[in-house]
Structure 1
Amino acid sequence: MRNSLATLWVGDRLGPIELASVASFLRMGNPLTVYSYAPIQNLPPAVQARDANEVLPTHRIAVYAREQSPSLHSNFFRFALMRNTDHTWVDLDMIALRPFDFPGDRIYGYEKPDQVNCAVLRLPKSSPTLADLSKLTAGTRGIAPHINGLRRAKYWVKTLGRGVPIDRWPWGSTGPRALTAYLRKHDELKHALPLEVLYPILTRDCRRFVVPGDLSDASFGEETKAVHLTASNINKIIKAEFGGEIPEDSFLGHHVAKARAAGLT
């Protein structure tokens, strides 16, 4: 059975990467719901639109102070999605190569040898990891869970025991780093999927997705369900190296073309 997928989008339009991601999931037959706090002008008709307030009511989108990124709020939302629905969370910079038909109520995978990512996430409602992640809110103040030992002690001393506001925690502290730390704490890391299933291309090598003639769907084995583009990095590379245009003869270019052929752009 195909997994029912869902995500959150902050903004009124999807970009070419997001539309390519949506198209890939629809091609694989996975139902997709996109939650938002305001209407999305170019959301494809085959995607179910839902009010994000159904999952996580809010009057303000939480952002990281330094990056001004709503990734912070997205992390709070994905944990609420685990608590309140039976969907599997997906980031809209995942490109599905095969149907998502994972058995069971756990879906998370390694993105590097010592860390899992939450770009694809499903946790059972009874998971102690989910319970800990759910304690993270916009009002949280403390030390990021992945910071340990002497470094953690130094943070407490430096902040006179008050800790740091969550919006000033290091990048990833409420996402992959927190997920990995809590999975390890509760002995749930053993359920993580191997790296090649969801993250066969490391983030440091994400440029390969836009290099003409490099990667194609055929570059990946049958064990690979999807790849993670890491849109924040890819967009910088496209702007710096390709004049803001996605190279047509690249992995991403081919998937943008498939979305366009399906009438999604």
Structure 2
Amino acid sequence: MSNIVNTVWIGKQLGPVHAACLRSFLRNGYDVVLHSFGMPEDAPVGVRLFDASKLMALQEVDVFRKAKMLALASDIYRYRIQREGMGLYADCDVYCLKPLDEDDYIFGWESSKLIGSAVLKIPPQSRLLQELLEAAEDLHFIPPWLPRRKRNKMGLRKKLGFPVHVADQAWGVIGPQLLTHHVREMNLTNHASSIDAFYNLHFECTGLLYEPGLSVRDLATSRSSFLHLCNSRLKPSGVPAGSPMHEILNA
């Protein structure tokens, strides 16, 4: 299973950037499995479809769609992929530069404080995954890293029937924040790859993708296997020729 990468998409179209990212994995010899509720119209040839309804009901997705927090559904889904032992997971805005050396644990630092979850692999029977699943499946999860006073207040609200939904909590509460907390608690930080493995392109530096004269390799290091493109910061049009994004879209 070392050459499999699982991705998730909710919607009818991937868009040019996400389609290009999937093609990058195909070029590097990966068996790309796209978890979706029907194959997107612009999915690259060679991508395999996995029926996402086998791991998440559409009703669950609708809850997060109404809250305009589909990212939370994706957080939960990637943990379920790990639960099923399906192998490596990567967001659809992760660009593959070269094949990754496989390991039981795959995740990396995205900043000095947070471990990202855009690239993820965790042993199915591990305590880490059990803790992640238990927290993520609780829509009114109370983060243990919050100050005691705030945890007590949230706990009281939960008992009284007025809990705080995860959609109304801080960004990454069941994603990078949760993952980082438990990796630290379980002394698993030795498994975390350095920031340049996957997250060398800081989200505030995504403008470099549109700089003529730069290449994709200029945005990475010799240790970079993947490059997280930070989808929320990407411009949909006006891509200059000779820029890294032009290279990505035309590869």
Q: TM-score, normalised by structure 1?
A: 0.84
The match for 2:201 is 201
Matches within 5 A, 1:65-80: 68-80=68-80
CA contact (8 A) 1:64 1:168 kept: no
- What pairs with 1:1-265 in structure 2 (closer than 5 Å)? 2-61=2-61, 62-63=63-64, 68-100=68-100, 102-137=101-136, 140-153=139-152, 155-156=154-155, 163-234=163-234, 238=235, 244-258=237-251
CA distance in 2, matches of 1:142, 1:163: 9
Residues 60, 73 of structure 2: 8 Å contact kept:
no
Residues 245 and 80 from structure 1, CA distance in 2 versus in 1: closer, same or farther, beyond 3 angstroms?
Answer: same
**CA shift at 1:120, angstroms?**
0.4
Q: Secondary structure at the match of 1:35?
A: strand
Q: CA deviation at 1:18?
A: 0.3
Gaps of 5+ in 1: 259-265
* CA-to-aligned-CA distance 1:136-171 (integer Å, 9 cap, x gap): 356521423442445444555677775411221212
Unpaired segments ≥5 residues, structure 2: none
Q: Does the CA-based 8 Å contact 2:144-2:151 persist in structure 1?
A: no
Q: C-alpha root-mean-square deviation of aligned residues, in Å? A: 2.3
Contact 2:239/2:246 (CA < 8 Å) preserved in 1? yes
Shift of 1:108: 0.2
Task: Please state whether the residue corresponding to 2:59 is helix, strand or coil.
Answer: coil
* C-alpha separation in 2, matches of 1:2 and 1:247: 36
How far apart in 2 are the matches of 1:138 and 1:219? 36
Q: CA deviation at 1:204?
A: 2.0
Q: Cα distance 1:157–1:55, how it changes in 2: closer, same or farther (>3 A)?
A: closer
TM, length-normalised to structure 2: 0.89
What amino acid maps onto 1:245 in structure 2? G
Code of the aligned partner of 1:143: I
Conserved 8 A contact 1:79-1:130: yes
Deviates more, 1:134-143 or 1:177-186: 134-143
Comparing 215-224 with 28-37, greater Cα deviation is found at 215-224
> How far apart are the structure 2 equivalents of 1:128 and 1:159?
26
State the SS of the aligned residue for 2:33: strand
Q: 1:139 to 1:159 in 2, by over 3 A?
A: closer
Structure 1 residues 64 and 138: CA distance shift in structure 2, 3 A = farther
Q: CA 1:246–1:158 in structure 2 vs 1: closer, same or farther (change >3 Å)?
A: farther
Distance 1:39 1:31, change over 3 A: closer
Identity %: 24
| Structure 1 residues 182 and 163: CA distance shift in structure 2, 3 A | farther
